[in-house]
Structure 1
Amino acid sequence: MDKPLKTPPPYPIASVDHALRAATVLQMEGGATVSQIAERLGVARSTAHRILAMLVYRDFAVQDDDRLYRAGPVLELAAHSQSLVSRLRTAALPHLRRVVDLLDETTNLTVRTGDTTRFIASVECRQALRVGSREGMVFPAHRTTAGLLLLADLSDEELEEVYDIEHYRDRPADRPDLGRLRTELKRLRSNGFVVNKERSERGLTAVGVPVRDRDGTALAGLSVSMPSVRYDARRLQSLVRALNNTARAVEKDLAEGR
């Protein structure tokens, strides 16, 4: 079995994790208040204030006159508040929470950039044994549920460009077998959904569907993730139906600018 792509450090430092997650929020969403950061991190307002003050000191954040914190010079690739990623996340979050209420499994929204995917929203379920938030994490596209969905939307020529052999000259082992990948993506296009059994992380199974724009282009992948021991193939149709209904609701709100 493949080694998991994301292994938590043996001695995690909560304060560092909080600071990195706060920086991710500012980069992806354009800005946040102290109270919003405190709520997202699950910490006291005073703790969130200290985290943001350190980010400002190190130029990872700046504070506006209206006391809103935004990405600083170090995060110069920060998303504008009206960027596609920000609008996707805003439109999707209420629906992700409803999926969690319905299925009681962690739900994610993921976008692709080149040969990688990034989780832009993640809502954890309440079960003791659960898949934790992947928000802000980056994985190889061909190893993730959403990545496969989004790669399946590409033409053969576009896929060749994404996996141009020259890009992998120094890391050839990271380049997937394009013949096998094309065969898999063809099947995924026919199915309209993906079942990812421990492909990205050991012990994790995910099911996903695409979120599309008005012209039918896949913008993101919507997925539900669970411990593999809890996945039941007999529930697949109901999982896909719930995800498809949610994807259509996200698309509607995105089109209406909500």
Structure 2
Amino acid sequence: MQNTRIVKRPEYAVDSVDNALRILLLLQEREWLRIAEAARELGVAPSTAHRLMSTLVFRGFALQDDQRRYTAGPSLAAGPAQRHVRGLVATARPHLEALAVQSRETVNLVERVGASVRFLFSAEGPQLLRVGDRTGTVLPALTSSGGLAALAALPDAVVEQLYTGRGAQLGGHALTPAELADLRRELAETRARGYSRNLGRTEPEIAAVGVALALPERPGTLAVTLSAPISRAAALERPETVAPLRAACAALQRDFAI
């Protein structure tokens, strides 16, 4: 008869570490998790749960959305959130790879979660000098073309709440009135232009343009971007480059709606 070893909680267990690990398990089990739910599961105060979750966000294990819910971050590659990502990538991949061949630049599928964006998939362009695969990268939405495109698809009131509300203060991404006014102007220009623009903002040698996917059930969450060395920035904004990008987004919108 095989002996079964029972693993007990060690007497020297550090409660904060144990609670952080329990939150990681919750994030793996569920697509979304709120602070109140985490606090109830752990038997701690919401302020304690929030401090733990903020640390996990900082380390890439969690991301916060507009509704102040948390989902697994790129450092936590399992669970419902990851299955959701795999489904999006499976649908988008043929379109992104075809666009990479046509545009000869690197194409990215980007998801905005709250004030951050994560790169879900990259299809590298065929040119020798190109932007590499950025899958898994997380950036502030304000500094990326995909994030700006997604934010431009939201009403100004939603954007203002995202960057001035209590969640913004706690998350460290709150904007001053002057910074918010600058963002409003940039988003208005993006809407008028029909695509976002990033010229060396994320990295000095990289340029990018982005178009948001118009998904009625998920407005302002997904975008497709084209990235190139900044020496080819002007080419990214030519009609013969932007038109295929928009066409790819329209095709993706139809596929996601099925």
2:232 to 226, 230, 234: 230
Q: What is the TM-score when the length of structure 2 is the normalising length?
A: 0.63
Structure 1 pair 185–254 and aligned structure 2 pair: CA distance change class (3 A): same
Q: Note if contact 1:106-1:131 (Cα within 8 Å) is conserved in structure 2.
A: yes
Q: Cα RMSD over matched residues?
A: 3.0
- 1:60-209 counterparts in 2 under 5 A? 75=76, 78-80=79-81, 83=84, 85-164=85-164, 166-167=166-167, 169=169, 175=175, 177-209=179-211
Structure 1 pair 168–108 and aligned structure 2 pair: CA distance change class (3 A): same
- Deviation per CA, 1:227-248, whole angstroms, max 9, x where unpaired? 0112335852111101011011
Give the count of matched residue pairs.
Answer: 186
Q: Note if contact 1:112-1:147 (Cα within 8 Å) is conserved in structure 2.
A: yes
Q: Note if contact 2:112-2:118 (Cα within 8 Å) is conserved in structure 1.
A: yes
Q: Note if contact 2:153-2:212 (Cα within 8 Å) is conserved in structure 1.
A: no
Structure 1 pair 165–215 and aligned structure 2 pair: CA distance change class (3 A): closer
Q: Note if contact 2:149-2:212 (Cα within 8 Å) is conserved in structure 1.
A: yes
Q: Which structure has the bigger radius of gyration?
A: 2
**Percent identical across equivalent pairs?**
33
Q: What is the TM-score when the length of structure 1 is the normalising length?
A: 0.63
Q: Please state whether the residue corresponding to 1:135 is helix, strand or coil.
A: coil
CA distance in 2: counterparts of 1:80 and 1:172, whole angstroms: 24
One-letter amino acid matched to 1:161:
Q
Q: Note if contact 2:112-2:150 (Cα within 8 Å) is conserved in structure 1.
A: yes
What is the match of residue 14 of structure 1?
A: none
CA distance in 2: counterparts of 1:248 and 1:168, whole angstroms: 32
One-letter amino acid matched to 2:254:
K
Q: Please state whether the residue corresponding to 1:223 is helix, strand or coil.
A: strand
One-letter amino acid matched to 1:114:
G
CA distance in 2: counterparts of 1:173 and 1:103, whole angstroms: 34
Q: Please state whether the residue corresponding to 1:232 is helix, strand or coil.
A: helix
CA distance in 1: counterparts of 2:162 and 2:173, whole angstroms: 15
Contiguous gaps of at least 5 residues in structure 2: 1-27, 32-60, 62-71
Contiguous gaps of at least 5 residues in structure 1: 1-26, 31-59, 61-70
Q: Note if contact 1:131-1:225 (Cα within 8 Å) is conserved in structure 2.
A: yes
Deviation at 1:172, TM superposition (A): 6.5
Q: Note if contact 1:214-1:255 (Cα within 8 Å) is conserved in structure 2.
A: no
CA distance in 1: counterparts of 2:135 and 2:82, whole angstroms: 17
Structure 1 pair 235–178 and aligned structure 2 pair: CA distance change class (3 A): closer
- Deviation per CA, 1:45-71, whole angstroms, max 9, x where unpaired? xxxxxxxxxxxxxxx9xxxxxxxxxx9
Deviation at 1:171, TM superposition (A): 8.3
Q: Please state whether the residue corresponding to 1:212 is helix, strand or coil.
A: coil
Deviation at 1:78, TM superposition (A): 3.0
- 1:206-217 counterparts in 2 under 5 A? 206-214=208-216, 217=219
CA distance in 2: counterparts of 1:251 and 1:213, whole angstroms: 7
Q: Please state whether the residue corresponding to 2:248 is helix, strand or coil.
A: helix
